[in-house]
Chains A and B, each alone.
Chain A
Amino acid sequence: GAGVSQSPRYKVAKRGQDVALRCDPISGHVSLFWYQQALGQGPEFLTYFQNEAQLDKSGLPSDRFFAERPEGSVSTLKIQRTQQEDSAVYLCASSPRRTGETQYFGPGTRLLVL
């Protein structure tokens, strides 16, 4: 079956520009996570949704980062007024479990801010 998909795969933004990253989780998965992965590092947690409810956003680096999942399926991570330090791979993962076990990751969106 289809896995987690993310779009765009690559995004180049000028500093100060707003960007929107999309995640299509596996159908029926209740849990959705966003992670940020810097070059040569492990993924770092950003935020977590259970269905449409955002249960935790403690990992979002600043108030320029905003995520939503209005209908409990597709999710969008928005970054306003991008800065160079926002350059990273943004990974989305979904899980069929409310406990967050068995997370399946998408291919990621590589964001480069110039």
Chain B
Amino acid sequence: GENVEQHPSTLSVQEGDSAVIKCTYSDSASNYFPWYKQELGKGPQLIIDIRSNVGEKKDQRIAVTLNKTAKHFSLHITETQPEDSAVYFCAARNILTGGGNKLTFGTGTQLKVEL
């Protein structure tokens, strides 16, 4: 089955700096890669996603890059703000044999933006 590895597990940056979180996946058939932000006591919130036919996608201060050959993708947050502090999860979508699909998540990155 799919295995998604995520690094680093914790990341501390100064306000205004950039943050980068990296993930690798094992199943070359995976073709959809979302990123989620989870705040304490809440469910994961979709912040950006990318499909395998695209190499990069941006949304304001957030960008995601995908390298299909190397099977890795990264989340870039620029001009970090204290409200960016949360746990971030990457995920890869796998097609199930029964015709459905599922997301396989990484283990998460605790991002702390310090003033």
Known: A48-B96, A55-B96, A101-B49. A43 touches B44 (CB 8 A): yes
Prevailing SS type, chain A contact patch: loop
The total of interchain contacts (Cβ-Cβ below 8 angstroms) comes to 73
Given the complex, which residues of A lie within 8 Å of B46, measured CB to CB?
102-105
For residue B103, CB closer than 8 A to chain A, the reply is: yes
The contact of B93 among A44, A55, A100, by CB within 8 Å, is: A100
Across the interface, do B107 and A107 meet the contact criterion of CB distance under 8 Å?
no
For residue A67, CB closer than 8 A to chain B, the reply is: no
User: In chain B, residues 58-109, which have Cβ atoms closer than 8 Å to a Cβ of chain A?
Assistant: 89, 91, 93, 96-108
What CA separation (Å) do A109 and B5 show in the bound complex? 26
Prevailing SS type, chain B contact patch: strand
Given the complex, which residues of B lie within 8 Å of A55, measured CB to CB?
96, 98-100
Across the interface, do B45 and A33 meet the contact criterion of CB distance under 8 Å?
no
What CA separation (Å) do A92 and B34 show in the bound complex? 16
Beyond contacts A93-B43, A100-B103, A101-B34: 7 other A-B pairs, Cβ-Cβ < 8 A, are: A45-B103, A48-B100, A48-B102, A56-B100, A99-B101, A100-B102, A107-B41
